[in-house]
Amino acid sequence: MTHARHTDVRETIGEDHPTCQLRDILDRVGDKWSVLVMNLLGSGPKRYSELQRSIEGISQRMLTLTLRSLERDGLVERTVTPTSPPRVDYALTPVGQTLSVQVSGLIAWAEQHREYVAASRLRYDAP
């Protein structure tokens, strides 16, 4: 399983300090593409190829890995229509939709504060 390391649950390092388990879940949002995929699926089911076209710069490999990982976590459902060529649709599960609400908030924040952050960085890097 090539992508084992990608989907591997990081052990909670022995102790069950809440922080560790938190990190585990937050990694879901932390990887490079999950948030973008979830956001797109938030507006309805999409085909594999639609996702690929919509997400600027994602590789086939990463799209597949990201979708598998979301599916594994019960956030995305995969539906195969065995025509030829095959058609595969991805949709959020009910729980996935509750996460996509959070994700939308995050994206909205990012859009609203993009300029502020950019300006802050410029000032910080000036000297």
Contact between 59 and a second copy per CB under 8 A: no
Give the residue with the Cβ less far from DNA, 62 or 99: 62
| Cα–Cα distance measured from residue 18 to residue 87, given in angstroms and rounded to the nearest whole number | 41
Phi, psi for residue 55 in degrees, rounded to 5: -100, 100
User: Is residue 68 a contact partner of residue 3, using CB atoms and an 8 Å limit?
Assistant: yes
Helix, strand or coil, per DSSP, at residue 5? helix
Taking residues 54 to 93 in sequence order and writing x for each that binds DNA by CB under 7 A, - otherwise, the string is ---xxxxxx-x--xx---------x------xxxx-----
CB of residue 90 to a second copy, shortest distance in Å:
15
Instruction: State the number of binding residues for DNA (CB under 7 A).
Output: 24
| Candidates 41-49, 59-67, 83-91, 108-116; binding stretch for a second copy (CB under 8 A) | 108-116
Q: Which does 91 bind (CB under 5 to 8 A by kind): DNA, a second copy, none?
A: none
CA-to-CA dists, residue 116 to 36, 119, 124, angstroms: 22, 5, 12
- Which of 37, 103, 104 lies closest to 71, judged by CA? 37
Q: Which does 78 bind (CB under 5 to 8 A by kind): DNA, a second copy, none?
A: DNA
| Cα–Cα distance measured from residue 90 to residue 62, given in angstroms and rounded to the nearest whole number | 15
Contact between 49 and DNA per CB under 7 A: yes
Strand partners, 92: 76
Q: Which residues in this chain contact DNA in the complex, by CB under 7 A?
A: 1-2, 5-6, 31-33, 47-49, 57-62, 64, 67-68, 78, 85-88
